[in-house]
Amino acid sequence: MLDRKTALNTAPAGRPALSAAAEIAAPHQKAFDTYLRTGDDDALRGLVLEGKALSTAINSDGGYLIDPETAATIQGVLKSTASIRSISNVVNVMANSYDVLIDHGEVGTGWGTESGPVTETATPTIERISIPLHELSALPKASQRLLDDSAFDIETWLADRIAQKFARAEADAFINGTGVGRPRGFLDHTKVDDSLWTWGSLGYVPTGADGDFEATNPSDAIVDLVYALDAEYRANAKFVMNSKTAGAVRKMKDADGRFLWSDGLAAGEPARLMGYPVLVAEDMPDIASGSYAIAFGDFRAGYTVAERPDLRVLRDPFSAKPHVLFYATKRVGGDVSDFAAIKLMRFSVA
């Protein structure tokens, strides 16, 4: 007769296995919910000491990592918003910065003969771009009475509030950020006429009119912008502009009277301009004199977002009585990683 241990090990293959992940996650979620509502962190500390929840940790400055389910909700909202993040290269790092190595040179070559000498060729150039991580924070609050209501889903509420604040701050920084205490946006870099482009700057194509498209053949500027980008980047390129600019561009027609703009055929599919997807990002500048209201490029190659995968929350019941503050932080950085992959349109004569 089989003992209990042997019987369990020889159970039929069709029997569903119990979820080990659920056994780990459930105590953590219950303990984290208790911490948010009451500030009682005994259960969370116990999980850390016993090693029952690998994703739980104590921040050196106070606070706890958000539980995996809540963190996934926040990241999902951030990725679904109209932000450069959704089309950029996003990497998770555990350091204070992320280095991108770019080879923007080519190995020299030469033709040889059977008996002729082989001459030395040029060596490729390696460029190192360092992207520092900056702290992004949010400080939502709730009344203690609301937290005492067991029917109130505090984790969903907290995730939504944090996601909204983080998404707005990130979206602006990835486009307009100065790199001082925040990510550096691609529009913060030096801009030069594309005919004078060099590494370290972004090339632009003028529209031919100050603060507007040319009165005759306005779509020519769109065509010039597309073909200012090298063919290797055009395959994965996308337009980026805000709603006001999109409203002006979608009225354009080619020489045969066909609209350059086409809406997505399925739900969730982006609109297309000259066959390329369009990201409508409201943090792009409006059409104005000398503005760079349209960007076109392969942002997966051209812009890198580096972030730590963890989110931390510190409960503060003292600073705003009778409300409780929740201080949430994450670390994120961003910068241009390939200056040849992004081109801009300048609304100017030259």
The 3-class SS string of the chain reads: CCCHHHHHHCCCCCCCCCCHHHHHHHHHHHHHHHHHHHCCCHHHHHHHHHCCCCCCCECCCCCEECCHHHHHHHHHHHHHCCCHHHHCEEEECCCCEEEEEEECCCCCCCCCCCCCCCCCCCCCCEEEEEEECEEEEECCEEEHHHHHCCCCCHHHHHHHHHHHHHHHHHHHHHHHCECCCCCECHHHCCEEEHHHCCCCCEEEEECEECCEECCCCCCHHHHHHHHHCCHHHHCCCEEEECHHHHHHHCCCECCCCCECEECCCCCCCCCEECCEEEEECCCCCCCCCCCCCEEEECHHHHEEEEECCCCEEEEECCCCCCEEEEEEEEEEEEEECCCCCEEEEECCCC
Same domain, yes or no: 74 and 161: yes
Q: How far apart are CA 190 and CA 196, in angstroms?
A: 12
The answer as to whether 294 is a domain residue is yes
Would residue 118 count as lying in a domain? no
Q: What is the mean pLDDT of the chain?
A: 80
Higher pLDDT, 261 or 121: 261
159 and 208 together in one domain: no
Pairing relation of β-strands 141-143 and 323-336? antiparallel
Considering the domain architecture, whether residues 161 and 28 belong to the same structural domain is answered as yes
For residue range 168-207, what is the model confidence (pLDDT) as tens digits? 899 999 999 999 999 999 999 999 999 999 999 999 999 9
- Note the pTM of the prediction, 2 decimals: 0.76
- Domain of residue 318 covers 23-79+131-179+309-331
Which residue, among 105, 45, 132, 61, has the nearest Cα to 308 in the 3D structure? 132
- pLDDT bucket at 21, cuts 50 / 70 / 90: very low
Asked if 191 and 175 sit in the same domain, the reply is no
* Whether pLDDT at 343 is above 50: yes
Residue 71 placed within a domain: yes
Residue 29 lies in a domain: yes
Any domain includes 27: yes
Whether 266 and 223 map to the same domain: the answer is: yes
User: 39 and 171 share a domain?
Assistant: yes
Model confidence at 286: pLDDT above 90: yes
- Residue 68: asked if its preceding bond is cis (omega within 30°), the reply is no
What CATH number is associated with residue 200? 3.30.2320
Domain tally for the chain? 2
For residues 142-148, average pLDDT: 81
The more confidently predicted of residues 43 and 154 is 154
Q: Give residue 50's pLDDT band: very low, low, confident or very high (50, 70, 90).
A: very low
